[in-house]
Structures are given as structure tokens and as C-alpha cells.
Amino acid sequence: MAEILSKLSEDLADIVEASGSSVARVEGRRRLPASGVVWSDDGIIVTAHHVIERDDNIRISVGGETVKATLIGRDPTTDVAVLRAETSDLPTTAWAGPDSARVGHLVLALGRPGVTTTATLGVVSALDGKWRTPAGGRLEQYLMTDLVMYPGFSGGPLVNSAGETLGINTSALLRGVSLTVTKPSLDGIVESLLAHGHIRRGYLGIGTQPVRIPERITETVGQETGLLIVSVESDSPAEKAGMLLGDTIVGLNENQIKNVDDLLSLLNGDLIGQSVPARIVRGEQISELAVSIGERS
């Protein structure tokens, strides 16, 4: 048993040493610095949104060098921010595959709020697919651990037993819960922030509430619920398309709309500027309107 524990300890120490080279110290707030992960060797750093309290005078350090960094963009709804450091040839992390984590796996959370890498050990306690955060952000996958998130660990990596990074840690999405925004979610978020500085989200300009569809037409539409339109903003895409108060949306772009999450998940940046069909129930009639998806400001 002693030999097993000794080898496990040595293996964990080796993982921390190897993975720690791509963990950044991020100075973006008045109090304790936080952590980040080198996304690409040309100076792109991914960290947590809530640890960047200012838009300028940001500094990062990887290894022993401290340099200035620019805020490229942030998404408060998923607690992700992207920085560009004034340096290059940074050591990058090895990312884990999307299906490499299982509940019960041992994981290490790494941070660099100080000069050297710090670590804490725990297990994956939950892992699931698409999830909408309390702030309205959309994650392709989320991971929960039993780790204690020490001050300054947010934005740092969660590393598996193979030394691969599963995602970045945050203590801000759910109070008292340690969550990891995994690579499948980070890919889209970081790509959008690098391209636009923010997450592009589609816009119809309506207020809705879920309702049951009258039984006499449920068979025709193939669903039992939809979204009743309770408000339509002036000069909005919905108004221009001819949507009215009292209409019930049951489909958009050939996808069923049964609840608010269905609608929000479809209003992504890919549809902005496109004209797509919206299926509505008006009275007892089913009709289709063409609506041009706007962009939420």
C-alpha cells in the first residue's frame, strides 16, 4: 500500500510540474491575482470573466516573465474572458477529449495566484451535456467537482490523471459549487470572443410565456406546448415579420419550439442576418412567417 501511495504522489507531482508550465498568473483586479490557461502560443490566455475587474492595466505572467495583456472579450453568462499577452512562444496545454472524463475520476485543479503553481486534488462529481447557466449562457458541456476552490484558482485549469486539461475552473456560475467550463464549450466561446469581442446572440424582440396548445391541433403540430407571444417590440424582427400578440410560436428554422430554452438555443450567432421560417399558431390556424434574425445589442 505504501508503494502505491508513493507512486501516486509522485505521479500527481509530475502532472502538476508538467501542466503548470501553461498556467498563467492573471492580474486584473485590485485584490489577489487569479489564474489563466495558455490557449495558443501567440499570447492568447483564457481565464474567468469575474476575475477581470478592469479593462486595462492587465498583466499576466507565465513562468518568470510578467507582461502586459489586452482584454479581447468577455462573456459574463459563461464566466469566460480572453486576453492577449504581449509575448509569444508560450507553452500550451494538452487538451483532453470531450469524452475523456467520467464521474469518479481523480482530477487536479491548478492555479497561479502567486509566483508558483498551486494544486488541489478531488474527483469529478457530476458531468452532463448542454446546460443554460443562471445568467443565460449556453454550455455544450459542464463538469462539477468536489474541489475546494481556493482564492485565485478561478480561471485555472482542471487536469485529469493523464495530464490533459479538461477546461477552466470557476466559482462564479453557481454559488458554493466548483464548476469547470470544458473544452467543448470553450471552443465556441473563445472563437466568438476572438472574432467579435463578445458572444453574438440572435434577437426577435418578443416577450413570451410557455402555454399548452389546444388539443384539437396538437396532432397537427406534433407537440403539446409552445410559446405564447405576450409582447412585441416596435420595429423588431418579429414585428417586421408580422408576428402579433396572442400568436403561439411552435417552430423556428425547421426546429420545434416547446419552451423558452428551445428558442434561446436556436437564437445563436449563426442565424443572425438570416431569414428563417417561423411556425406559429394564430387562433386555430397554423401558418409560417419569414423572420430575419437580428442581433441582440
Distance CA 169, CA 145 (A): 10
Residues assigned a catalytic role: 50, 79, 154
For CATH 2.30.42.10, the residue range(s) in the chain are 202-295
The pLDDT of residue 99 is 86
Instruction: Confirm if 115 and 155 have CB atoms less than 8 A apart.
Output: no
CATH 2.40.10.120 domain residues, the chain: 2-196
| Whether 106 contacts 161, CB under 8 Å | yes
255 phi, psi to nearest 5 deg: -115, 145
Measure the CA–CA gap between 34 and 69, rounded to whole angstroms: 14
- CB 204: neighbour CB atoms within 10 A? 25
Could you confirm whether domain 202-295 is CATH 2.30.42.10?
A: yes
Q: Say if domain 2-196 classifies as CATH 3.30.390.30.
A: no
Buried-state track 61-77, b at ≥16 Cβ within 10 A, e below 16: bbeeeeeebebbbbbbb
pTM of the predicted model as reported, rounded to 2 decimal places? 0.86
Q: Going residue by residue through the chain (297 aa), what tens digit of pLDDT does each one get?
A: 778 888 889 999 999 999 999 999 999 998 899 999 999 999 999 999 999 999 899 999 997 789 999 999 999 999 999 999 999 889 999 999 878 999 999 999 999 999 899 999 999 999 988 888 888 888 988 899 999 889 999 999 999 999 999 999 999 998 888 899 999 999 999 999 999 999 988 999 999 999 999 888 888 889 999 999 999 999 999 999 999 999 999 999 999 999 998 898 888 888 899 999 999 999 888 999 999 999 987
HSE-CB of 227 using CA atoms within 13 angstroms: 22
The CA distance from 109 to 77, in Å, is: 22
- Cβ burial, residue 240 (10 Å; 0-12/13-18/19+): middle
